[in-house]
Amino acid sequence: MLDSRQLQAFVAVAETLHFGRAADRLERAQSVLSRQLRDLEQQLGTRLLHRGRRSAVSLTHAGEALLAESRIALGQLERAAVTARRAGRGEIGRLAVGYVASAALTGILAQRLGDFRTARPEVEVELSAMETPRQLTALAEGGLDIGFLRPRSSYPDGIDTQVVHREGLLLAVAARHPRAHGQIKPSQLAQEQFVLPQFDEQDGFEGHLAALARAGNFQPGPVLRVRDFVTAVTLAAAGYGVALVPSSVTSLSLTGVIYRPISGFEASAELAVAWRRNNTSAVVRVFLERLRNLAPI
């Protein structure tokens, strides 16, 4: 296999046609340079240079053919080295990001990705909308690098998180609902049917509804469970119940629904960023370093 230092020596001599000047360019001893070229000729089984008196040099036909290919090969090696160094610094690569809809509605997803793009504009970001349980599975299995999700009371082994956003909760009711106007107290919701975005576990907004019930001293009745906040608000607007939602949902601007604060109920919903603890990607490392320097919004 050809040695890159031998090729460098050959190109330097071929371009200067002088051993001394070539040795100066490469900052090598002339004796070392001569040995490297002899070794290269022996390896290839052909002469590459005509050596004249007083260090005069000319290329053989084989040398002329090798010179063009050597320049290409050395250029490719340099590009490979530069690419590897940039990848090691997290300047290039790919970042697979999952997110719940609320992360987009609050603007937190755009803000965090915008900050990262400023630092690493050439990193390719792949976004996938998915609910929290799917994100956690994808993170654990390596399908995602970063997840923007609703915090959980427990996580799969090897998953770390950081809260990046907090927002208040509102009650979504139909515009014709008796609670669409005036003050709403928790105790006034005892007879309401709640539309609850809930996934495959007893966590998330199930806990917020339980907290509201405690504040109002009532037991929640039958709950209409759905998969997302858009569905919950749509059903609330249609009169199928009321929905406890994060304030960012108001940006959806759905018709027929009113969002009301609940007097004396100060609970908030959180958004967190999650990642796999043993992820060795330099791109992920840079993203997390920047994330840790930013306080929750």
Q: Give this prediction's pTM.
A: 0.79
73 and 205 belong to one structural domain:
no
Residue at 297 is within a domain:
no
Residues 74 and 103 in one domain: no
Q: Residue 228: its pLDDT value, please?
A: 87
Q: Domain check: are 21 and 53 in the same one? A: yes
| Residues 123, 73 share a domain | no
- 257 falls in which pLDDT band (50, 70, 90)? very high
233 contacts: CB under 8 Å, gap ≥ 6: 172, 243, 245, 249, 252, 254, 257
Tell me the helix, strand and coil percentages in the chain, rounded to 5: 45, 20, 30
The mean pLDDT of the chain is 91
- CATH number of the domain residue 40 falls in: 1.10.10.10
Do the Cβ atoms of 71 and 7 come closer than 8 Å? no
State residue 196 phi and psi, 5-degree precision: -120, 115
User: Where is the domain boundary, 88, 110, 139?
Assistant: 88
pLDDT at residue 215 tops 90: yes
Q: Given phi > 0 = left and psi -120 to 50 = alpha, else beta, which region is 45?
A: left
CB under 8 A, 24+ apart: contacts of 39-42 = 39/3, 39/6, 40/2, 40/3, 40/6, 40/7, 40/9, 40/10
Q: Does residue 198 or residue 236 have the better pLDDT?
A: 236
Cα(269)–Cα(6) distance, rounded to whole angstroms? 64
pLDDT digits (tens, 9 = 90+) for 170-187: 999 999 999 999 899 999
Please indicate, yes or no, if residue 69 is contained in any of the structural domains.
Answer: yes
pLDDT at 201 over 80: no
Residue 64 structure tokens: 């002329």
Task: Kindly indicate the confidence band of residue 213, based on its pLDDT and cuts at 50, 70 and 90.
Answer: very high
My answer on whether 81 and 138 are in the same domain is: no
Quick one: pLDDT band at residue 1, thresholds 50, 70, 90? confident
Last residue of a domain, one of 54, 88, 122: 88
Q: What is the pLDDT of residue 231?
A: 92
Whether 233 and 160 share a structural domain:
no
Shared-domain flag, residues 280 and 257: no
Same structural domain, 75 and 17: yes
Instruction: Quick: pLDDT tens for 104-157.
Output: 999 999 999 999 999 999 999 999 999 898 999 999 999 999 999 999 888 999
Q: What is the 3-state secondary structure (H, E, C) of 218-266?
A: CCCCCEEEECCHHHHHHHHHCCCCEEEEEHHHHHHCCCCEEEECCCCCC
pLDDT of residue 227: 84
Domain count, the chain: 3
For 89, which DSSP code?
T
Question: Residue 263: inside a domain, yes or no?
Answer: yes
Looking at the structure, do residues 233 and 277 belong to the same domain, yes or no?
Answer: no
Same domain, 251 and 190: yes
Cα separation values, 7 from 28, 38, 46, 141, Å: 14, 12, 15, 44
Whether 84 is in a domain gets the answer: yes
DSSP 139-195: HHHTS-SEEEE---SS--TTEEEEEEEEEEEEEEEETTSGGGSS---GGGGTTPPEE
224-243 pLDDT, tens digit per residue, is 999 888 999 999 999 999 99
Residues 275 and 187 both lie in one domain: no
Q: Is 149 left (phi over 0), alpha (psi -120 to 50) or beta?
A: beta
Domain of 243 in residue numbering reads as 165-270
| Position 3 confidence tier, pLDDT thresholds 50, 70, 90 | confident
CA distances from 64 to 14, 50, 77, 159 (A): 8, 12, 20, 58
CA distance 133 to 274: 12
pLDDT grade for 56, boundaries at 50, 70 and 90: confident
Task: Output the domain CATH number for residue 246.
Answer: 3.40.190.10
205 and 175 housed in the same domain: yes
Please report the pLDDT score of residue 69 as a whole number.
Answer: 92
Residues 64-75: tens digit of each pLDDT? 999 999 999 999
